[in-house]
Structure 1
Amino acid sequence: MEIQKNLIQLGQSFKTKEEAITFCGEQLVSGGYVTPDYVPAMLERNSELSVYMGNFIAIPHGTDAAKKEVLKTGITIVQVPRGVNFGDEEAPKIATVLFGIAGVGSEHLDLIQKISIFCADVDNVVKLADATTADEIADLLNSVEV
């Protein structure tokens, strides 16, 4: 999957996970990957099962019922230097890199798998979190065919 540099957002800050998920969804909408109805399905998906994956990453995506809202497969990468909590006060789950995804058919599973493999190495997550340009992030991810 080709990483679109216009869908890479650096240095973002969010007060809540809902705000972060909505931002990811809006990026996918503006890129022409999903309809606006996909965004609430991303929030619903997280309420059903957290999109936090560990190693400081979250992968917001919609519910199965929202598949009809996906126009084409896409991914947005959002860097959150101060992190956003996908857990709660007692058990924080801080994400510093968000991968908002939408996949046609089962392509979202392929995206999740590739992102998870890349981010299983926390050094890769640190590189993404420390990147200062969209080119750096795109080069890192394109080098592993995410």
Structure 2
Amino acid sequence: MSELLERRAILLDRSADSKEDAIRQCGAVLKDVGAVEPGYIDTMLAREKSISTYVGEGVAIPHGTLDGKALVKRDALAVLRFPDGVDWDGERVSVCVGIAAAGDGHVELLAALAEVLLDEDRARSLREATDVDVVLALLSKIQEETE
């Protein structure tokens, strides 16, 4: 998991004024950990305009468009928790999992994330997590499934 999700890419006490703000914050973390070029954030916003990245259970998974793949340096995740929630077109999002994936890596990452989110207990634990180690443990299955 350390290659895909670094401790410093897990921020559990954030606030955002809008879904665009939340997406920008996810993109900034991906940039800060060296996974993407700055322009990737614009492709994440473009993706959201074309189709919502809200996946249910209070979770959104913002990621870039196909054009954004050229701006990805390495596959990575960023997990940002918004305890007060973010309005996502009428849905309340408390966790954003930003994805940077070169090639078709995002398909495997999305599938592995879906497995976590389909488990109501794991999804609730992710939404309520206040400890980075809890998030790492919850998402360790993603690393296993994408190796």
Q: TM-score range by the shorter chain?
A: over 0.9
**Equivalence for 1:25:** 27
One-letter code of the match for 1:109? V
Q: How does 1:126-145 map to 2 (within 5 A)?
A: 126-142=124-140, 144-145=141-142
Name the counterpart of 1:70: 72
SS at match of 1:22: helix
Structure 1: distance between partners of 2:18 and 2:46: 15
Identify the residue that residue 54 of structure 1 maps to in structure 2. 56
Match of 1:124 in 2: 122
Deviations 1:34-79 (A, max 9, x none): 0001001100000000011111110000000111000000000011
Report the secondary structure of 2:28's partner residue.
Answer: helix
What's the Cα RMSD here?
1.1
C-alpha distance in structure 2 between counterparts of 1:14 and 1:130, whole Å: 17
Of 68-77 and 129-138, more deviation after overlay is shown by: 129-138
Q: Which amino acid aligns with 2:120?
A: V
What letter matches 1:75 in structure 2?
Answer: L
What is the CA-CA distance between 1:145 and the residue it aligns to? Answer: 3.3
Q: Distance in 1 between matches of 2:41 and 2:77?
A: 14
Contiguous gaps of at least 5 residues in structure 2: none
8 Å contact kept, 2:58–2:127? no
Q: TM-score, normalised by structure 1?
A: 0.92
Separation in 2, partners of 1:17, 1:28: 17
CA distance in 1, matches of 2:138, 2:42: 30
TM-score, normalisation: structure 2? 0.91
Structure 1 residue runs without a partner (length 5+): none
Structure 2 letter corresponding to 1:84: V
1:137 maps to amino acid = V
Q: % of aligned pairs identical?
A: 33
Task: Kindly report which structure 2 residues correspond to 1:33-44, keeping only aligned pairs within 5 A, or say none.
Answer: 33-44=35-46
